[in-house]
Structure 1
């Protein structure tokens, strides 16, 4: 499909993957403004992001010397455990051999070179571009590389079928008023109706989506609700650490969810979560994170409350029958760099109305 709306960048996806692999310093080999916003956000998450700041003369004569210089500076200044050089459109167009620059720089820090640019329609290409050299360097196993390929394909499939990539253009929306959706959810939970609350969240976004399950429990502690979360221990280093912290935080606050899936498996869990819903046969369900992963045949006849962080996801969720759809605005920046569960807007509304 040709999209006429902005889509995630493969360069940014490579940067986030480097972070998940335990990279301390990433060097963007390109102009200083490339991926500026996300580079700054990732620094909030503890990964240093430097740039070779290529200018017009390097566009012509090449930028290997600046890259070698920045790599030596990064090693001397930050003493990183791992580094990654991430390509940009400029680096790829002029044919930079980044692995050669890593070798010739003389650095001792384990470092991978990620050959990537923004000319891919799907951002998963950036993830794979980072994972392949990581596997070659022994940072992850060959089995984990294949597992990640499978999961990325499933996540892409969900976005094409029921997500923000299901049409060439989807108008952004803030969804329903949070107090209206919260009021109806509390009414059902307080009435004795049988409910299920599922978190199927993508990686660090779970630090906020978990709060919505906690808020429902705080507001209606005696409600007949089964809690389920994708917090099993699988995936890249940071993904496993995040799952462990979030699960501990939920248990400390009185919610011990059933575990179904891991934080990087959100796109592949639709049928498993759907079958669990059929077993529980609830009157209502709260779906937070990536609610569109669950095929609509599993939620037919159930009153569905969905919470997403994608304004372009509202329309597709309504089209598959979700009665109440709310958006957590600016969720992603609020969950970068955190190490404990963060209060959500919808969670705050639920608590205020209890």
Structure 2
């Protein structure tokens, strides 16, 4: 029932992860406008064929071919992405033929997806993009299979534990950040064990990892929190591995346990559960995609830090003792190359001064 990111947006972000230089959206000028503008902040040129009503009836293959040629002449990209929209895909526009006729000297990844795609889930657009990239020789079959499996698990996670379960969920902006932060500080003051788990998606790790940049080792040298994260620098596309490297470089201390990569968040939560059972902490803070972790499997009190007001209710139903929301995490971190301040981390810093 809730508006969800479409396969078109997922395709755009996946092309970003594949480090294309230019993306052409074959559709009306306003389709996925916000996503396109945000991707400009990443240094990607996002263009449109600006299909009109007449094109919806008679097609606009020539417009696409001309736009490809103009984009190549203007930017000389090494890799270019072409993404379908509802308008072009429903009328059956042959984007591959248009790309071939453009005859430009660059790799072109043609993604035939749209907002009404039968699979319905936004991750379907990402999977189609990966498969198209494999056809262009940009990514291996093995990596496509690994990432596709992760994306399917991500969809399952949202449908079973997240905000895509079906019923209407009223936005909930979480618990009072000051009160929850005070609980954490009191636990550390009382020499109780605190564990911080980063289980974040891609660039959102820059915001959720901000709590790990607090100088915990200086403030609590004898009782420093334990760090667990999904920032394996050897997993994922180069663009994503860079995020992991930067997070690991800027946090307060070395990660104690690594559960996997930043694109493996649907399953790294399960790995975190295994570690948390052994640690037996008094308080565990789970950042990013906390619903990938079952709080009933974790000893002690649990705090979920999420980016979605509509995730607060499902997280409470899962059994988290407290829920904190970080609004606009995606828009705040898109295009970022280093840590972005989070409200919760800022609250903790203020109380620790």
TM-score bracket, shorter-length normalisation: over 0.9
1:93 counterpart (82, 85, 90):
90
Query: CA separation in 2, counterparts of 1:245 and 1:156?
Result: 27
Find the residue that maps to 2:311 and give its secondary structure: helix
What residue in structure 2 maps to residue 305 of structure 1?
Answer: 303
Equivalent residue, structure 1, for 2:3 = 6
What's the offset of the Cα at 1:242? 1.3
Contact conserved, 2:188 with 2:220, CA < 8 A, in 1?
Answer: no
Alpha carbons 1:215, 1:348 under 8 Å: kept: no
Moved over 4 A (4+): none
CA distance in 2, matches of 1:295, 1:336: 28
State yes or no: 1:153 paired with 2:125. Answer: no
Q: What's the CA shift for 1:320?
A: 1.4
- Answer whether contact 1:185 1:305 (CA < 8 A) is retained: no
Is 1:108 matched with 2:105?
yes
Q: Please, which moves more after superposition, 304-313 or 162-171?
A: 162-171
Q: 1:32 aligns to what?
A: 29
- 1:238 aligns with 239
Query: Following superposition of structure 1 onto structure 2, how do residues 27-176 of structure 1 map, counting pairs within 5 Å?
Result: 27-120=24-117, 121-176=120-175
RMSD between superposed Cα atoms in Å: 1.4
Q: SS of 1:53's equivalent?
A: coil
Paired residue total:
348
Residue 351 of structure 2, aligned match among 345, 348, 353: 353
1:213-270 per-residue CA deviation (whole Å, 9 max, x = no partner) reads 22372784333421011111211221112111221122xx434442221000000123
Between the aligned partners of 2:66 and 2:195, the Cα distance in structure 1 is 55
- The 3-state SS of whatever aligns with 1:315 is helix
1:196 Cα offset (Å) = 1.0
- Report the secondary structure of 1:209's partner residue: helix
Structure 1: how far apart are the matches of 2:218 and 2:151?
A: 36
Secondary structure of the corresponding residue to residue 86 of structure 1: strand
Query: Alpha-carbon deviations, 1:264-297, whole Å to 9, x = none?
Result: 0000123211010011111110100001101233
Is structure 2 residue 19 aligned with structure 1 residue 22? yes
In structure 1, stretches of 5+ residues that fail to align are none
SS across alignment from 1:285: strand
Structure 2: unaligned runs, 5 residues or longer:
none
Q: Does the CA contact (< 8 Å) of 1:13 and 1:124 recur in 2?
A: yes
- Output the TM-score relative to the length of structure 1: 0.95
